[in-house]
A and B are shown apart, each in its own frame.
Chain A
Amino acid sequence: MEKKKFTIEEEIQLTLDCMDKIERVPINPWLPTRLKEKLKKKDTENYRIGVLSGAFLFG
């Protein structure tokens, strides 16, 4: 079957309408765990940076 050809104005409207057809993405049940790990990692990094800058200051 031949694909229907649209005029430019129809194409514009169909394209703009696509925004209303986007489905919502569901939640990721692992996100809180990942965030907890990331926060822990960042705290460790910050602690290391603190220790290193302390060593530079006083070493």
Chain B
Amino acid sequence: MQIQTAVINDQQLISALQQGCQIAFKQLVDAYQERVINTCLGFVPNMQDAEDICQEAFIEIYRSIYKFRGDAKLSTWIYRVAVTKSLDHLKAKKRKKRISFLQSLVGEDNKPIDVKDEFNHPGVTLENKERTKVLFAAINQLPDNQRVAYTLNKIEGMPYKEVGAVLNLTLSSIESLLFRAKKNLQKSLRAYYEREMLN
């Protein structure tokens, strides 16, 4: 089969996937997993969770590829799935945390999960670990759209135009989101370090 050996373009890959070709799916995973796992780690800095999200994202891609109409680039659509899955994971975790907190109030043994303790990003050196942990905690406080724009631009090195395609927003909206994200990060980091210096 030609697909096994030749370098194929996205359109050919999509057609093969829509016909249920397993080899095409393996090719898609090989081509995109580096981008997907690093994006997931940008939102969930924990290797085990990020790997689970990455797998869920590819399963979603496999299952819904027949819906893909080609309105966006394949990579844009894949990023959208990875981002949505990562945000869903964070929301579920927040819900779980709230429930455990309520359970602890009524005397259950479950303690709320400490997000800071779960920092386990394999791409962060020991030297930068503490500061990166603080940065991720600050990013965690940003509204979703600022957080997505900042993460895609900084982690994936994505140009503004492509971030706009993933978020379905104009270039000027992305510029404004990134400006606000940076301002908000500076503000929360300042508050954090002021508190730290007092202690």
A contact set with B: CB distance below 8 Å:
8, 11-12, 14-16, 18-28, 31-32, 34-36, 38-39, 42
Contacts and interface: CB of A to CB of B under 8 A. Distances in A.
Chain A, interface SS category = helix
A39 B126 CA distance: 36
Contacts of A25: 34, 37-38, 41, 47, 122-123
B65 to A, nearest CB: 13
Interface of B: 22, 25-26, 29-30, 33-34, 37-38, 41, 47, 51, 54-55, 58-59, 62, 121-125, 128, 131-132, 134-135, 138, 154-155, 182, 185-186, 189-190, 193-194, 197
12 contacts: A8-B193, A15-B132, A15-B135, A15-B189, A16-B186, A18-B128, A22-B123, A22-B132, A24-B34, A31-B33, A31-B58, A38-B55
B33 to A, nearest CB: 5
A35 B25 CA distance: 10
Closest 4 CB pairs of A and B: A23-B123, A18-B132, A19-B154, A12-B189
A21 B131 CA distance: 11
Contact of A26 (B34, B54, B125): B34
Given A25-B37, A39-B62, 6 more contacts: A16-B189, A18-B124, A24-B38, A27-B34, A31-B29, A31-B54
A11 B182 CA distance: 15
Contacts of A42: 59
A28 B55 CA distance: 11
A10 to B, nearest CB: 9
A34 B58 CA distance: 11
Contacts of A18: 124, 128, 131-132, 135
Contacts of B197: 8
Given A15-B135, A39-B62, A31 B155 contact: no
B121 A22 contact: yes
Contact of B131 (A14, A26, A28, A31): A14
Contacts of B33: 27-28, 31
Most chain-B Cβ atoms within 10 A of its Cβ — which of A25, A32, A39? A25
A23 B132 CA distance: 12
Contacts of A36: 22
Nearest to A6: B193
